[in-house]
Amino acid sequence: MAGETYRTVAERGEAAFEIRGSEFVGYAAPADTVEAAEAFVDAIRERHPDATHNVPAYRVRADPLREYQSDAGEPTGSAGKPALNVLQQRDVENVAVVVTRYYGGTNLGVGGLARAYSRAVKEAVDDAGVVEERPHDRLRITVEYDDSGTVRGIIESADAEFEATYEADVSFAVRVPTAEREALCDRVRSATSGRADISVEE
């Protein structure tokens, strides 16, 4: 699983429509941890405290994959499961969605609700855009000034994203594909004769 590519959403997405007086607003967002997914769900609930329902679902890459959905007061199986099903069918991971509903006075029935919640998630995911992503790790590499030019060159050639902080020592915050992490660490250790301090950040 570590080196595989996976599908996720590129950015936040949103979609809104009305069915027989009920207003549905779908939200989708990237979330690479369960905590990030739950924080997004909480943020949408806070944005719509007066909504009749805020229905959440998410799929987060962990070991094992974490999936969650709730009907949030709608009839059992009419909201959370259809929302999660869309994420499963689209095969997207590290994504959280919330569908906000303002009740319009007409009951839609379980089938109608399931179709509406599915549509809201589909359209929000479409708005966000689906991309292929590779798992990444974050490293902190700290070296003395004498080694900093060499290490910077290695990081740049590895096609990794990084930020450098120059203080008493030089510290690089690096985002590197998981599959390439060990090779990068080995090159840095070898080039600095083991002087580099390398840690993996959670």
User: Domain boundaries in the chain?
Assistant: 6-133, 136-201
Task: Quote the pLDDT of residue 1.
Answer: 44
Nearest alpha-carbon partner for 117 in 166, 52, 170, 185: 52
Neighbours of 76 (CB within 10 A): 9
Nearest alpha-carbon partner for 20 in 142, 88, 99, 112: 112
Please indicate, yes or no, whether the overall pTM of this predicted structure exceeds 0.75: no
Task: Quote the pLDDT of residue 172.
Answer: 96
CATH of domain 6-133: 3.30.230.30
Q: Which of 88-92, 125-129, 157-161, 171-175 has the lowest mean pLDDT?
A: 157-161
CATH fold of the domain at 136-201:
Alpha-Beta Plaits (3.30.70)
